[in-house]
Amino acid sequence: MKTVLITGCSSGYGLETARHFHAQGWNVIATMRTPREDVLPRSDRLRVIALDVTKPEQIAAALEASGPIDVLVNNAGIGLLGAFEVTPMSTAREVFETNTFGVMAMTQAVLPQFRARKSGVIVNVTSSATLSPMPLVAVYTASKMAIEGFTASLAFELEAFDVRVKLVEPGYCPNTSFTSNGGSRMEGLIPEAYAPFAARIFASFGQVTTVTSESDVAEGVWRAANDATGRLRFPAGPDAVALAPSA
């Protein structure tokens, strides 16, 4: 029986992905910054572990507690929406700490066991913002684009060790906590000069009819984790598939 470790499982994509892998009969290590046992089924094949991917000591402790794993899903991330002109560099660094460096740190931490066993899969969840430019998410997109390049290069680097690296690119999912998990991070990031432009963008969000669901992403991660064809990118959701050049 295979084991998957998934980061960012308290809600959204991570939570649904944990449920999906568990339903497929896998052992699931669901990690969260603040563990919640009530959001997932009680099972001897499912464990909830505390993990903040920006803290090296928590990464080490989580992997020690997990034991050998077969798949790492780097899903944990934070959102940011606002005009770049007024975005503090400290906020930009905060986004990169989770969305970029957190992914890199988790990946680096599991590589010794994957390389030694000559098996293992790393699935990095990015965004359809990497497929088509979107306004007011410049920093967020940059943090995800960095992972796209990182993953593509790493896939070549680990091929000799039979370790597979994949990208899942979710579309626009209005049900996730992208905005709410931004909290105070987004306050004041739409200054008066940008207000008319931002109002048009926000209005357009309400007119979108083709969107992604959490289950679309869970299924995309499942396909990526089990893919043996050498495919790198897996757009998830009908809007992401439409944007992907070779989907």
Residues serving a catalytic function are 140
Question: Which two three-digit tokens encode residue 136?
Answer: 């007011």
Give the start-end residues of each E strand in the chain. Answer: 3-6, 27-32, 46-50, 71-74, 121-125, 164-170, 233-236
Element at 20 (helix H, strand E) = helix 12-23
Rounded CA-CA distance 125/58 in Å is 21
Distances in Å between the alpha carbon of 21 and those of 1, 25, 187, 225? 11, 7, 36, 10
Distance in angstroms (rounded) separating the CA atoms of residues 222 and 142: 25
Q: Is 88 exposed, middle or buried (0-12, 13-18, 19+ CB in 10 A)?
A: exposed
Q: Which residue has the tokens 């931490």?
A: 109
